[in-house]
Structure 1
Amino acid sequence: MNGDDTGSALDGAVVAVAGAAGPAGRATLLRLAEAGATVVAADADVTRLTEAVDAARYAHGGATVTGDTVDLLDREATRAWAEKAEKDFGRIDGLVHLVGGWRGSASFPETDLADWDLLEKLLIRTVQHTSLAFHDGLLRSDRGRYVLISAAGAGQPTAGNAAYAASKAAAEAWTLALGDSFRKAGGDEGPGTAATILVIKALVHDAMRAERPNAKFAGFTDAKDLAEAIAGVWDRPAPEVNGTRLWLTPQP
């Protein structure tokens, strides 16, 4: 599916992308713009954000892709970003949460709780702030979607990944609660808006392959494939994807 396809579910949609400056963010901006969406990107790194936004604009001439430097750890700043997006473009049809981060240890006893302090902010607090800020706007949409990227390790934590896995599990639980709110708002007709979790083992992109040409990256999801899966969430009815985990890696 591309931006020229008649009936593209994303054609004319307004989608916000949090954590847009990384490899997954860049691929997602490109894919959403290709599908005909207006893309409202945010990241804390202004230089990388500008590069990502410019790349999406140049790849798809005429696409509307904007960038805002937003501190997603600031609830009021996040709310202001959501309100501005809806005011500027008249609607908000999606929030894609790509804020990431990883910390681990050699063993469980060596876990540094400073890692938890960091990951709680990156992986949980940003989900809380974006979901609360965009909740009402997404409900006003006829195709609202909140998309969280999670990791298989959330359900099968390893000894050295306690802080990371626990953070991801908490973010999943929060997103499922958001989905329950959408379900209840939909009443007897079912939800018109959906909260969906895409589960990967880990992410791989071209730069990683160039750095490690002999690595197999078994079970990893390519950033472009992740972007395709994100766009695909809009192709499916809200009741089908609301409150669900969609696995992009073999489910354990």
Structure 2
Amino acid sequence: MTDTTEQGYQGNGNGRLEGTVVAVAGAAGPAGQATLLRLAEEGAKVVAADADAKRLAQAVDAARFAHGGATVTGDTVDLLDLAATREWADRTEKEFGRIDGLVHLVGGWRGSSTFAETDLSHWDTLHDLLVRTVQHTSLAFQSALERSGNGRYLLTSAAGAGRPTSGNAAYAAAKAAAEAWTLALGDAFRKAGGEAGPPAAAAILVVKALVNDQMRADRPNAKFAGFTDVKELAEAIAGTWSKSAEEVNGNRLWLTPKP
């Protein structure tokens, strides 16, 4: 597994994703909203999904409004249902003729003050949010991403997965499991391509935590040291298509200093 700095993934903002179709899971949150905007700006046709229909509609409308003429659609999908997730992938490929990316932004956090106070119900919740949804989207979209010839499966993860703290045992373990699953997908892409190189790439974008404009407004005195702005994350996501699938596949792309 190779570590790559964010610098190599900076974009030029000139529509480098024209003609691509990118699905975004967990699109209604701040990171999802920023990603929809950036992908639309780069010319991609964006297919967004979230369990929150109201917030999803707002995010889709904002991306359309910001980039006139952009194709941005939204689906309310239960990503804990493998059949529903496969149906979303099949429907998307049938409608647009291809799928060039799945950006996985489904998140959630649970924690405790100490290791001894860990509530194992937190694991159950985080397993569903952070692991099961990754399993379902990866299984549902693998074949379409391979058919793309330059597909991307992109997972956003946390630096804490590699250095868990005592109160974050469930969260860090779930993030680590999701990373391992994503890297296994990357190995499947590698094997599918053989000597020609992988037809798609699976990669992990690593942050300490995310910050957005609303958080800064709510806490004007907070420093958010080491946090990654959601716009910076969105730029890094779009920038992964500026490299070959072989260069991206199996990598952890650090958007925060490595611990």
Q: Are 2:202 and 1:219 equivalent residues in the alignment? A: no
How many pairs were matched up?
248
Instruction: Note the C-alpha offset of 1:63.
Output: 0.4
Instruction: Note the C-alpha offset of 1:223.
Output: 0.4
Per the alignment, residue 181 of structure 1 pairs with: 188
Question: Of the candidates 203, 208, 219, which is equivalent to residue 196 of structure 1?
Answer: 203
Q: Are 2:25 and 1:18 equivalent residues in the alignment? A: yes
- Map 1:93-112; keep pairs closer than 5 Å: 93-112=100-119
Question: Of the candidates 175, 196, 212, which is equivalent to residue 205 of structure 1?
Answer: 212
In the TM superposition, structure 1's runs of 4+ consecutive aligned residues that sit over 4 Å from their partners are: none
Q: Are 2:64 and 1:57 equivalent residues in the alignment? A: yes
Instruction: Note the C-alpha offset of 1:142.
Output: 2.1
The letter for the 1-side match of 2:205 is L
Instruction: Note the C-alpha offset of 1:11.
Output: 1.1
Per the alignment, residue 248 of structure 2 pairs with: 241
Per the alignment, residue 239 of structure 2 pairs with: 232
Runs of at least 5 residues in structure 2 that lack an aligned partner in the other structure: 1-11
The letter for the 2-side match of 1:17 is V
CA distance in 2, matches of 1:247, 1:223: 14
Question: Of the candidates 142, 152, 163, which is equivalent to residue 149 of structure 2?
Answer: 142
CA distance in 2, matches of 1:236, 1:182: 16
CA distance in 1, matches of 2:18, 2:156: 23
CA distance in 1, matches of 2:177, 2:149: 28
CA distance in 2, matches of 1:190, 1:169: 26
Contact 2:23/2:48 (8 A) holds in 1: yes
Q: RMSD over aligned Cα, in angstroms? A: 0.6
CA distance in 2, matches of 1:11, 1:183: 25
Higher relative contact order by CA 8 Å / sep ≥ 6: 1 or 2? 2
CA distance in 2, matches of 1:209, 1:79: 38
- Map 1:67-82; keep pairs closer than 5 Å: 67-82=74-89
